[in-house]
Every structure is written in structure tokens, then in C-alpha cells.
Chain A
Amino acid sequence: MALPKRIIKETERLMAEPVPGISAVPHEDNLRYFDVHIHGPSQSPYEGGVFKLELFLPDDYPMTPPKIRFLTKIYHPNIDRLGRICLDVLKSNWSPALQIRTILLSIQALLGAPNPDDPLANDVAQRWKEDQNAAIETARQWTQEHAKP
């Protein structure tokens, strides 16, 4: 099936005007599948880390949101052990007017502002609420251990 113009356009723009701290490169043999790298935002426990994600555009994209998950291990209250992300715009709040670009920006923002009240990885969220400093320290250690470029 030919690639919809929208996907071509989005890809072109991602290449021509990359978002600072984010890269998304489509696979040569499957242009709906992207290798994504997000730099941990400064002033966050993820600073200095580079996180790898995979992003896939389903057939009915943009009617349904892109499927996206972290491949790099990350300690975060809204990201579970399998790398799945709890983010409203990827689920109920998805809109076909959103784009790969905007979604990746939201994920980058989520790294900068974890939200333990809307958790996915329950034990991490629990710890985050009980002892935030310790949780942040763990997040920092994991970044050192798993997300070194």
C-alpha cells in the first residue's frame, strides 16, 4: 500500500527541521516504523541520558494514534517495565490533528514533569509519592546505567 501523503510530509519535516533533543528516523524497509531518540531534559533526573524508543504508525493513522514505547530502561512513574507510556494524548485524548512531532514533544515534556498521580508503573509511582527524593535519585542512577549515549 502506498504511503499516505501525510506520513511523507511529516517525515520530511522531521528530517528537515528536527525538534531540538529529539530525532526520529524511519526504517528504510518500513516507512511507518521509526527509531526515536529523546535526550533527557536538563534539570530532570534524566538529564544526560539518551533514550531510545520505537514508534509505529498503524494503517489507520491518523485516525488512531501512533504506537510508541521506550526501548531504553527508564525509572518513571508514567512508564512501565515494558516501556509503555501513560500519556492521555496517546489514548483517549488523541486527535487526528496531532502529529508525530507533537507527540514526541509531549513525551519529552513528560520526562521533565513526571506525574505520579496518573501512574502506569504502580510501584514506581508509589515510591515517587512516598519518597520523592529517593525516587529521583533512582531515576538518575538508572539514567547513568542504561541511558548513556
Chain B
Amino acid sequence: MKYGQWFKQRLKNDGFPPDWVDSAISYSQLKKCINKLTAELASVGLDAATLSKLLKHVEEYNTSTAAQDADDGSRSFEYILADNHANDASSKKPRTPFHPKLLFHVNESTGEILGANLDDKTRKNLQMLAVETGLTELRVFEEPDTDSIASSDSASCTSNKKAGYRTVEVPLTSDSEFFSTLATELSGLEQLQDREEKRMHNEIEGLGRQVARMTDPDRKSNRRLLAVWREIFQVYIESDIFFGHTESDHAAHNADKATERFQKFCNTIATQGLVDKIKKPEGLRALNTFMHINREILQGLRFGEINHTAMLKILKKFDKQTALGVKSSFPQRLEYPEFSEHLAKATCAELNNQILSSIPQLEDYSCPMCMELKWRPVRLRCGHTFCIRCLIVMQTDKQHNCPLCREKTVVDACSDNLDLELADFLKKWFPDEVKAKQKYNELMAGVDQYGEVYKERCVVM
């Protein structure tokens, strides 16, 4: 299937909101522009094969502007997208309108086309063209004085004025249409992205408040639900849906991969019975909203991807049919708005701030030595915290230095180092884990005092 058709079908069938579809790249309209442009070029005898031989490519142009006067080479045509192609690095997205021009130089007196190294055939072709058109169909214009267009900074390097030569512009209109359409659509996509970001921000904020209310540990009835939500979010974080965070996978995921991960997350919480444990309708509604937000991010990713591909494909087609070589220079002029990744990033950060962080995760409060909850928490002079059990083990073992910073802070730690504030916090948010760890610590204290027999007896009992 051709890409244009495929793209159209995706837009139609993938359930994108109507205003998204309206903002999509109009691939088929742009394709028509290309066809018109090809016809315009053909009417002056410039098909793709001929042009590709004559055209000074933009990459060459940019690298050789300095040396150009000395060595103009054999390529006397140039195609520029806008008057100032000196790309200012400080303005990331130059938004100057497109004034594409196909230019070449002719000798003022003989009408001969400039270019010292033309082979015979090309020269003949060009002379034919010059004779055929008699230069009458081509618009020959005087190079404007720089001060006459002082309003713009563009005149400096439009093209080099050469004594005895005139710059000729091949009259084309469909290319302007092509680029202004594409530029308008890209900025439309950018606006859409801003709108969506704001909308999702509100949605997430609302959900965040709801989750915070349902899991507030000060309300005793929430205790059980707190554990369930924590587990759901734990699985969510571990699923790495939109971004990887391991050594072998640390990039943003594309839509396919993210969808697969999201599906896995849904299956996991279902099979672990976590969905069933949320019995209250309020909770299920919140979970649904959470799922919905994730699906919206996925859809945004997919929408961004197909539009980006559409843009690249249409530029490629433009180059293939006209040989004007814009694919490499166009993105410098106008960046694709990174619709997908940006939206996913912003929304994930939002999810994190508004929702995930409202329920503390065990991992953030586990002891770096035993990897269990830091109960009871001891804060060493260096600021690092461990559970009291590990501190006792270290002191017994005459390990004087902090395992994290190697400062000599373990040796003089005592009951004054108990972090009471953190202890209160842990008790409030991790009641089950505190209970389990407390039991274990007491057991191990008994072992310290009476030896392994104590533990065995306890287990038997």
C-alpha cells in the first residue's frame, strides 16, 4: 500500500479525535503540489535528471559560500528556501516565511549560462533551453540594491552578484504553496500539542487530588486501599512504559513498544488481582481515568509518529521528483515539533509529580544494606540512613565507615541517631512493612543475645 493511503487510513481508523485529524499533515494535498511543481519545471525543460546535474546542493552551498567566488564549479543552479539561509544557531526555530527560489546566472551580454565545467551535452541542453525560451519566458531581474530591502537582513548572501552576470529566477509557484502549507501545518501541530498538554495537565491534577484523598493514611479506612494503590503504581513504574531506565534500554519508547508495555502492565495488575481489590466505585473510576490518560499518551505518540513520517516521506518525494534537494535543509529551517516524545515526557513528569509521588514507594525508603524498609531508621552524622538492624551488624563487625560515603560515622552512632521524624512517616505510610520488620528486628536481637537456638525455637513455636 502506498504511504499516502496508509496514512489516510490510520487517521481515519485509529480513533484520533477529530481536531487531531484536522491538524494532520495533508499528505495528498502536498503530493498534488509536487505534481504541479514537476509540471512547471518540465515546461521550462528542467526534469529531475537534468536538474540534479545542474543544481548546487545546499550542503555544498553552505560549505563553499566562502570559497565560491574563486570556484563556482560546474553547478550554476541553486535552490534556496528563504532569503537568509545563514542559519542563526541562537534562534532555534527560524520562523521566517519560505521564499523558495530556483536561481541561475547568465552572462549579461551573451545570455550564456554561467559555469565553466559543463560537459558538452549539458551545455548544449542549456543553450537549447536558452534559445527555446529566448530568455523571454524567464524573468530576468536586476539584483536589488542591498539598501532597498534594508528591512530584512536577508540580502547579504542571497546570491553572489557577479560582474557581467545576471541572476535569473525560474518562475515557479507550486513550491511556495508546498512549503507554506507544510509550515502552517507544522505550527498547527505545535499548537495542538500545547493545547493537549494543558488539557492533560488538568486531567492529571484532578486525578492526583482524587488519589491523594483515597489513600490519605490519616483516614484509617484507607489503610488497605493504600497498599493496593501502592502496588499498582509500583508495577506501573517497573513496567517502564514510555521510557526505559536500564543499562540496555534507556531511551524513549516508540508507540509500538510503549503500547506493548502498557498492555503488560494492564495484564499484570489484573492477574495479581489488584483491580478486584479496589472495590469502591470511586476507586475504580480513578483507575479508569489513570488508564485513560495512559491511552491518550499512547495515542499522542502514535499520532506524532505517523505525522513525522508523513513529513519525511513527502520531503523525500519532493526531492525525488524535482531533484531540488530540500530534505536535508528543510528541517534546519523548520523543525518537526517533536509532538510525540514531548507530550509523553511532559505527561509522564506530570503523572509522577501529581500522582505517583503522592504515595511514597517502598524503594525510596529501603535500607541500602538489607533493601528492606528502613525500620527503625538511624541517621548517621554524614546524613545517610540505615535500618537499626544493619547498623548493629556493622558495629558488631567493627565496620566503622558509612557504606555509602565511607566516612567514619558508623562507629559513634547511638540511640541519639534514631530519626524520629522519619520513623513517624514510615509508620504512617508503611504500616504493614513496619510491623514485619519490627518482628524481624526483635527476632534478630534475640539471636544476638541467645544465639541461633533462639531463632529456631521461635520458628518452631
Q: Which residues of A does B touch, CB under 8 Å? A: 4-6, 9-10, 17-20, 60, 62-63, 95-98
Min Cβ gap A93→B in Å is 8
Q: Is the CB of B371 within 8 A of A6?
A: yes
Q: Is the CB of B248 within 8 A of A18?
A: yes
Q: Which residues of B (378-405) have their CB < 8 Å from a CB of A?
A: 390, 393-394, 397, 399, 401, 403-404
Q: Is the CB of B394 within 8 A of A63?
A: yes
Cα A19 to Cα B248 in complex, Å, equals 7
Chain A residues in 8 Å Cβ range of B283: none
Q: Is the CB of B399 within 8 A of A17?
A: no
> Can you pick out 7 interface pairs between chain A and chain B where the beta carbons lie within 8 Å of each other?
A5-B370, A6-B369, A6-B371, A10-B371, A17-B246, A20-B248, A95-B406
Chain A residues in 8 Å Cβ range of B401: 95
Count residues on chain B whose CB falls below 8 Å from chain A CBs: 17
Judge if B188 is at the interface, Cβ distance under 8 Å: no
Min Cβ gap A50→B in Å is 17
Chain B residues in 8 Å Cβ range of A5: 370-372
Would you call the interface of chain B mostly helix, strand, loop, or mixed? loop
Min Cβ gap A16→B in Å is 8
Which residue of A18, A60, A97, A98 has the most chain B CB atoms within 10 A of its CB atom?
Answer: A97
Q: Is the CB of B248 within 8 A of A96?
A: no
Cα A42 to Cα B59 in complex, Å, equals 34
Judge if B153 is at the interface, Cβ distance under 8 Å: no
Judge if B247 is at the interface, Cβ distance under 8 Å: yes
Give 7 nearest A-B pairs by CB, closest first. A97-B403, A17-B246, A96-B403, A95-B403, A6-B371, A20-B248, A9-B371
In chain A, what residue has the closest Cβ to B390?
A96
In chain A, what residue has the closest Cβ to B363?
A9
Q: Is the CB of B372 within 8 A of A96?
A: no
Q: Is the CB of A60 within 8 A of B247?
A: no
Q: Is the CB of A97 within 8 A of B399?
A: no
Report which of B369, B372, B406 forms a contact with A62, defined as CB distance below 8 A.
B369
Cα A19 to Cα B394 in complex, Å, equals 29
Q: Is the CB of A17 within 8 A of B371?
A: no
Would you call the interface of chain A mostly helix, strand, loop, or mixed? loop
Cα A53 to Cα B228 in complex, Å, equals 41
Judge if B446 is at the interface, Cβ distance under 8 Å: no
Report which of A19, A20, A96 forms a contact with B399, defined as CB distance below 8 A.
A96
Beyond A60-B397, A63-B397, 19 additional contacts (C-beta under 8 Å) are: A5-B371, A6-B369, A6-B370, A6-B371, A9-B371, A17-B246, A17-B247, A17-B248, A18-B248, A19-B247, A19-B248, A62-B369, A63-B393, A95-B401, A95-B403, A96-B369, A96-B403, A97-B368, A98-B403
Q: Is the CB of B246 within 8 A of A97?
A: no
In chain B, what residue has the closest Cβ to A96?
B403
Min Cβ gap B115→A in Å is 47
Chain A residues in 8 Å Cβ range of B368: 96-97
Chain A residues in 8 Å Cβ range of B403: 95-98
Q: Is the CB of A97 within 8 A of B404?
A: yes
Cα A63 to Cα B247 in complex, Å, equals 26
Which residue of B370, B371, B394 has the most chain A CB atoms within 10 A of its CB atom?
Answer: B371
Chain B residues in 8 Å Cβ range of A62: 369
Min Cβ gap B239→A in Å is 11
In chain A, what residue has the closest Cβ to B404?
A97
Chain B residues in 8 Å Cβ range of A17: 246-248
In chain B, what residue has the closest Cβ to A64?
B397
Cα A4 to Cα B397 in complex, Å, equals 18
Q: Which residues of B (92-115) have their CB < 8 Å from a CB of A?
A: none
Cα A6 to Cα B403 in complex, Å, equals 15
Chain A residues in 8 Å Cβ range of B394: 63, 96
Chain A residues in 8 Å Cβ range of B397: 60, 63
Chain A residues in 8 Å Cβ range of B390: 96
Chain B residues in 8 Å Cβ range of A98: 403
Chain A residues in 8 Å Cβ range of B399: 63, 96
In chain B, what residue has the closest Cβ to A5?
B372
Chain A residues in 8 Å Cβ range of B247: 17, 19-20
Min Cβ gap A66→B in Å is 14
Min Cβ gap A104→B in Å is 11
Cα A19 to Cα B371 in complex, Å, equals 20
Min Cβ gap A125→B in Å is 28
Min Cβ gap B393→A in Å is 6
Cα A71 to Cα B343 in complex, Å, equals 50
Min Cβ gap B75→A in Å is 41
Cα A98 to Cα B399 in complex, Å, equals 14
Cα A60 to Cα B399 in complex, Å, equals 13
Chain A residues in 8 Å Cβ range of B404: 95, 97
Cα A18 to Cα B249 in complex, Å, equals 10
In chain B, what residue has the closest Cβ to A18?
B248
Chain B residues in 8 Å Cβ range of A10: 371
Chain B residues in 8 Å Cβ range of A18: 248
